[in-house]
Structure 1
Amino acid sequence: MYNPVKAAQVIAHLACKAPDRTLDVIKAIKLVYLADRESIAKFGAPILDERRSSMPHGPVNSQTYSHINGEHDLDACGWSTFLEDCANHQLAVKAGIDEDDLDELSEADIQCLDAVWSKFGSMGKWVLRDWTHEKANVPEWEDPKGSSTPIPLERIMAMVGIDSPAEQAALVENNNKVSRLLSQLA
């Protein structure tokens, strides 16, 4: 089940590392995707439970992208507790929010986010966008020719070297289903 609060906290954690506590939208969505990819490679599961897609500007986490674009009530889902839109396609960490407020993130999540920031944080949005288009870097991305095509979790797992990617993807999906059922009971 997609957790918009956790997604906002992922972006807030990354933005807290930027000198002005802001991230360009394109850079933010690329970093989110790469953090999920890092988590898959290290721990066998993504940080965020959502679909991913190949889009003209590279791979994206679909639901996080739609939240960034304001396609949801950001106050009602908790997103705007942590992030706010700024001018010129920038996302900013809300005033008063710091790392201690990001309680949806596990130590494993933070480890992956920090690794991604260390590697990509200094890249500009267009350099990072172009980097994600290189087959040597993100081979699961396929040019959607102006549209959008799904990136199955199994394909990402295969590309990052997970043994038995179909079985691992099924395990992640089953764990997510159990989590959804438990959250409905709570």
Structure 2
Amino acid sequence: MTYNPRKASQTVAFFALKTGNNAVNVLKAVKLVYLSDRENIARYGFPILDERRVCMKHGPVNSYTYDHIKGEVPPEYDGGWGEFVSDRAGHAVGLANEATTTDDLDELSDAELDTLEAVWAEFGHMTQWQLVEYTHDIANMPEWIDPKSQGSKTITLESMLSAIGIPSHKEHTAEMESANSAHGFLKGL
């Protein structure tokens, strides 16, 4: 997989913009990012962000994006994250530049922006704790498994596609992983 921190930060920035105060609760942001990947898979067959996803105590999480939000990524690996999202302040992350608009989110396609709009329309009114409860419900997130004392457990792309109801999810997973490998090879990764 080829993780794009700049695109991830634009995804978080989108939700910060939607709150009306240019900041979003960390836990809420993490849940909305995961739900957006899920929704984009349901709509178009692939996630917005290429990254590892894990089951954690408070539900499913996009691992690399969460690391960036927590400030656990060394500056040399910022990859454009800081252009759109400021450092975490307490329980929130905000825009790095208050003048940012959705027109500035150039890493996101129109289809991905439509997905983010749909996710905000469905879940934006919820608090972080309502989203935790929603993502813990097996009827909503069958791919989430309580990691208990392990800290985290990987959510495989195959289990996510299966949970969403993608037909031929095993074959679709293999195609996506093959495309990611080819993309990485071409970029010299």
Q: Is the 8 A contact 2:28 2:127 kept in 1?
A: yes
Cα deviation, residue 101, structure 1: 1.2
1:105 aligned counterpart, secondary structure: coil
Which blocks of at least 5 consecutive residues in structure 2 are unaligned? none
1:54 aligned counterpart, secondary structure: strand
Structure 1 residue 113 and structure 2 residue 116: aligned?
Answer: yes
Distance 1:171 1:108 in 2: 21
**Match of 1:141?**
144
Q: Which amino acid aligns with 1:89?
A: H
Q: Is the 8 A contact 1:74 1:80 kept in 2?
A: no
Distance 1:175 1:13 in 2: 27
Cα deviation, residue 170, structure 1: 1.1
Q: Is the 8 A contact 2:69 2:88 kept in 1?
A: no
TM-score (norm 2): 0.93
Q: Which amino acid aligns with 2:90?
A: N
Q: Is the 8 A contact 2:7 2:107 kept in 1?
A: yes
Within 5 Å, which residues of 2 pair with 1:1-186? 1-74=2-75, 76-94=78-96, 95-146=98-149, 147-184=151-188
Cα deviation, residue 86, structure 1: 4.7
Q: Which amino acid aligns with 2:145?
A: E
Q: Is the 8 A contact 2:27 2:128 kept in 1?
A: yes
Cα deviation, residue 99, structure 1: 1.0
Distance 1:61 1:86 in 2: 17
Which blocks of at least 5 consecutive residues in structure 1 are unaligned? none
Moved more, 70-79 or 16-25: 70-79
Cα deviation, residue 13, structure 1: 1.1
Q: Is the 8 A contact 1:35 1:47 kept in 2?
A: yes
Q: Which amino acid aligns with 1:3?
A: N
TM-score (norm 1): 0.94
1:100 aligned counterpart, secondary structure: helix
Q: Is the 8 A contact 1:9 1:102 kept in 2?
A: yes
Distance 1:74 1:43 in 2: 33
